[in-house]
Amino acid sequence: MSEFLYVYRGGNRAALSPEQIQQVMQKWMTWMQGLAEKGHLKDRGHPLEAAGKLVSGRTKNVTDGPYVEKDLVGGYSLIEARDLAQAAELSRGCPILEYDGSVEIRPIMQM
């Protein structure tokens, strides 16, 4: 088994009603539970605040986030899968895909 990072980006929910927001959440819970039951969920990970700082360049210039909303990283999880192909396949159930978001799958480098 190898480890993979899921990086969640975007996900539009601006115009959703309370009931619809709850439905999105319940889809996430079902999906996460499915991953956990099959032993794929190494770490649930964390959601990230939208606001942050960006430090860059030799000048170590500090600027405020956020960045372009659709590219904004909203959170991450740590997944266990046989290989990259399986990790990608598993991510296809992620509800963020139904709301204009994306999941980036990055293999963790091994020692």
Partner 1 sequence: MDPALRNPLWRKVGGGDPARHDSLEHLFRRESGRLIAALIRVFGVHNLALAEDVVQDALCRALEVWKLRGMPENPAAWLMTTAKNRAVDVLRRERRARAFAPDLERLLESEWTFTPTIEEAFGPYAIRDDELRMMFSCVDPRLAEESQVALILHILCGFGVSEIANAFLSSAAAIEKRIARGKKVLSRSKRLFELSQNEDFQARLSAIQRALYLLFNEGYHGSCTERVVRVELCREAMRLAALLTDHALASIPSTRALLALMCLHAARLPTRVDESGSLSLLTDQDRSQWNTQLIAEGQKLLELSATGEQLSEYHVEAAIAWCHVTASSARDTDWGQIVSLYDTLMAIRPSPVIALNRAIAIAQHEGPERGLAVLRAITDRDRLGTYPFYPIALGEFELQCGRHPAAREHFAVALSLARNPSERKFIERRIEACSVRADGR
Kindly state whether residue 46 participates in binding partner 1, applying the rule CB under 8 A. yes
Residue whose pair of structure tokens reads 């996430």 in the numeric block: 28
Closer CB to partner 1, 23 or 83, in the complex:
23
Interaction residues for partner 1, span 48-107 (CB under 8 A): 74-75, 77, 95
Binding piece for partner 1, criterion CB under 8 A, among 20-28, 51-59, 80-88, 100-108: 20-28
Closest distance of CB 68 from partner 1, Å = 18
Cα 61–45–57 angle (5° rounding)? 15
- Residue ranges in contact with partner 1 by CB under 8 A: 13, 16-22, 24-25, 28-29, 32, 44-47, 74-75, 77, 95
